[in-house]
Amino acid sequence: MSVAKRVPVANNLLAALPRKDRQRLLASLVPIALTFGEILYEPGKAIRYVYFPNDSVVSLLTLVEGHRALEVGLVGCEGMVGIPLALGINVSPVRALVQGTGTAMRMSATRFRKEFHNSVPLQRALYRFTHVLMAQVTQTAACNRFHFIEARLARWLLMTRDRVLSNQFRLTQEFLSHMLGVRRVGVTKAAGALQQRKLINYSRGNISILDRKGLEAAACRCYQIVKSIPGSA
Amino acid sequence: MSVAKRVPVANNLLAALPRKDRQRLLASLVPIALTFGEILYEPGKAIRYVYFPNDSVVSLLTLVEGHRALEVGLVGCEGMVGIPLALGINVSPVRALVQGTGTAMRMSATRFRKEFHNSVPLQRALYRFTHVLMAQVTQTAACNRFHFIEARLARWLLMTRDRVLSNQFRLTQEFLSHMLGVRRVGVTKAAGALQQRKLINYSRGNISILDRKGLEAAACRCYQIVKSIPGSA
DNA sequence: AAGGCTCGGTACGCCAACGTACATACAATG
DNA sequence: CATTGTATGTACGTTGGCGTACCGAGCCTT
C-alpha cells in the first residue's frame, strides 16, 4: 500500500456529491495504491481507514473456523469500504481483502467521522450504499445456499468484471475457492466447464471472459438481481 | 393485525432512548398485535410501517425462485423492523414474516421519517442496530453455507428462545424448513436427533427446549458469535 | 539444464442433503 | 364416532460437493 499521486478520482460515490462537499472531502482524502492480496480489515479489529475505490476492488469475507473464507460482499467504485464507521461502529465484522489491484482514496477513521458529520450529502450517499450492501449480502447468502458452484463462479466473474472494467484479470483457483467457500477442486471443475463452453479462458491465473452474454446466461439470476438495485452501479 | 391497547412497552431500542425522545416517539406509536404467519413486507414492495417488537418476533426472509424461503435475520425486542427506511430507502429487499405472536409498536413510514429526522438518539440507536443486523446476516450466510442442518436448527431454536423469552413455542416442521431453506424431511431428521439426545421435545408443532446448555453445545458457534455483538441483546 | 515452485487437472471414496412418494399419528369437527 | 386435514415419520435412489492425495504442466531461479 503506497501513496499514489494524481490518480483520476473515479469513485462514483464521491463523484455524485455536490461540488462543495466533494472538494472538502478531497482535501482529506489521499490517493493510494491497493495491491492484490492486501488485507485492509480483520474481523474484530478496529477500522483505521475508510477507502473509496477508484479502479480497485475489495472483497468482504466472513471467516468461520474450520472452513474456507466466504465472500459476502464486493465493493468497487460504486461504494466505500468501511461502512461500519458510517453506522457509528469502529470494528469490522469482516475481513476486507484487496481483490483487484488499483487505486482508492483513503481517509483516516477520525477524519472520516468529522467529515461525515459535516456532510449531509455524504451521509445520504453512504446510507444508501449501506442498503445496497445489505441487499447484496442477503442475496449472496441465498446464492451460496442454493446455487451450483458453476453458476456462482460465473456470477462472481461477472461482478468482478463490472468493477475492474476489463474482460481479463489475474486470479488463481485457490483464491477463488476462498471467495466461493468451496474446494479448489470445485473451482477447477466449474471453471473447466465454463471453458469448455467457450465462455471463459483460463490459464495459470490468467482469466479472460470470452462471451459475456453467455456467461450471464450461465450465472444464476442473483447477478441481475443485485445489479438492478438502484445505487449498485 | 389488530390494535392492542395498553401493552407494556418492552422494546429495548425504545427503552434505551432518553425520556424526552421516547415520549415524543410514543405519541406516534400505536401498540399492535402481530400474529404468527402475518407478512409485514414483501420484497420489492414499499414499506408502509415500521415495527418495534415487544414480545413478538419477526423473520427476514430472502426468496429465490425455485427454492424455499431462507431466513437471513431475526428481529425481536432488541431491534426494529423496517431498517431500510432509516437508510432512506422505502422498499424492502426481503419478506418480513411474523414468526412469534406478540405485540409491537407501530408507526407509519411517513411519520417515522419525520420522527427519525428529529431524534438524534433514535438515529444513533438505529444505525447501531443496522450494523448488528448486517453482522447477523453475514454470519447467517456463512452458517447456511457450512453447517449441518442439525446445528443450524439448534441455533435457530436458541435465537427464537432468546426473543420470545420462553422455552416453549409453536412451530411446524414445514415452517422451519422455510426458515432454514431445507426440506421438511431434513428438519424431521434433525429435530428427531435433537429429541433423541433429550435436548428438545417435539410434538405436532409444540416445541419445548429441555436442555438449554445442551442445545447450545449442539448448535454451531454462530449462535454465540452473533449474540456477542454489542447491541444484539 | 536442473531443480523447485506455483498452478491446474484428475481420481476415489464418502456423505449430507435433495426430490419424491407414501404411510402413520393426532386433532378437530360435524 | 367416523371423517377430514394437518403434522410427522420413513424410505429410496440420486447427486453435488467434500476431503484427500497425487500427478503433470508451465514458470522462474540458480
Q: Is the pLDDT of residue B2 over 90?
A: no
Percent of chain A predicted with pLDDT > 70: 97
Residue B140 · residue B72 · CB < 8 Å:
yes
H or E stretch covering A208:
strand A206-209
**B146/A87 Cβ within 8 A:** no
Q: Are B159 and B223 in contact (CB under 8 A)?
A: yes
**Dist. CA A134–CA A137, nearest whole Å:** 5
Q: Please name which of B132, B131, B56 lies closest in space to residue B96, comparing C-alpha atoms.
A: B56
> Which residues numbered 48-67 in B keep a CB inside 8 Å of some CB on A?
62, 64-65, 67
CB atoms within 10 A of CB A166: 12
* DSSP code at position B208: E
Task: Grade residue A231 by pLDDT with cuts at 50, 70 and 90.
Answer: confident
Q: A141, B70 in Cβ contact below 8 A?
A: yes
**Does the beta-carbon distance from B88 to A145 stay under 8 Å?**
no
Q: Beta carbon of B204 within 7 Å of strand D?
A: yes
Give the mean model confidence (pLDDT) for residues B205-231.
94
Please give the helix or strand (H or E) that residue B201 lies within, else none.
strand B200-203
Q: Contact at 8 Å (CB) between B199 and B218?
A: yes
CB burial of A93-109 (b: ≥16 within 10 Å; e: otherwise) equals bbbbbbbbbbbbbbbee
Q: Any CB–CB contact under 8 A between B209 and chain A?
A: no
Q: Is the CB of A37 under 7 A from strand C?
A: no
CA of residue A98 to C1' of nucleotide D22, angstroms: 32
Is A121 within 8 Å of A67 (Cβ atoms)?
no
State the pLDDT at residue A6. Answer: 58
Query: pTM higher than 0.85, yes or no?
Result: yes
The span from the CA of A134 to the CA of B92, in Å, is 11
Minimal CA–CA distance to B137: which of B87, B93, B175? B93
Cβ pair B210, B200 in contact under 8 A: yes
Return the closest-CA partner of residue A75 out of A146, A7, A144, A126.
A126
- What average pLDDT is seen over chain B? 94
Q: Helix, strand, coil shares of chain A as percentages rounded to 5?
A: 45, 25, 30
CB of B102 closer than 8 Å to CB of B160: no
Chain A CB within 8 Å of residue B228 CB: no
Nearest CB partner across the interface for A145, out of B88, B89, B145:
B145
Evaluate if the CB of A181 falls below 7 Å from strand D: yes
Distance CA B1, CA A59 (A): 42
E-strand stretches of B87-194: 95-100, 102-108, 168-170
Mean pLDDT for chain A overall: 94
Strand D footprint nucleotides (protein C-beta < 7 Å): 6-12, 16-21, 26-27
Nearest to B57 by CA among B41, B39, B34: B34
Listed as ranges, the nucleotides of chain C within 7 A of a protein C-beta are 6-12, 16-21, 26-27
Q: Looking at chain A, which residue has its C-alpha nearest residue B82?
A: A131
Q: Does B227 touch chain A (CB under 8 A)?
A: no
Residues 66-85 of A with CB under 8 A from B: 67, 70, 72, 83-84
Is there contact between A196 and strand C, defined as CB under 7 Å from any strand atom?
Answer: no
Residue A3: pLDDT band (50, 70, 90) is low
Say if CB A54 and CB A105 are below 8 A apart: yes
Number of CB pairs, chain A paired with chain B, less than 8 A apart: 104
Half-sphere exposure of residue B151: CA atoms within 13 angstroms, side-chain side: 15
CB B103 within 8 A of CB B54: yes
Interatomic CA distance for residues B212 and B205, integer angstroms: 19
Q: Is the CB of A203 under 7 A from strand C?
A: yes
- B217 contacts chain A (CB < 8 A): no
Which nucleotide does the CA of A189 lie closest to, via C1'? C9
Could you tell me the three cell numbers for A146?
Answer: 442454493
Q: E-strand spans in B26-110?
A: 30-34, 39-41, 49-53, 57-62, 70-75, 95-100, 102-108
Rounded to the nearest angstrom, the gap between the alpha carbon of residue B136 and the centroid of all alpha carbons in its chain is: 11
More confident residue, A102 or B4: A102
Q: For B82-134, what is each residue's pLDDT tens digit?
A: 999 999 999 999 999 999 999 999 999 999 999 999 999 999 999 999 999 99
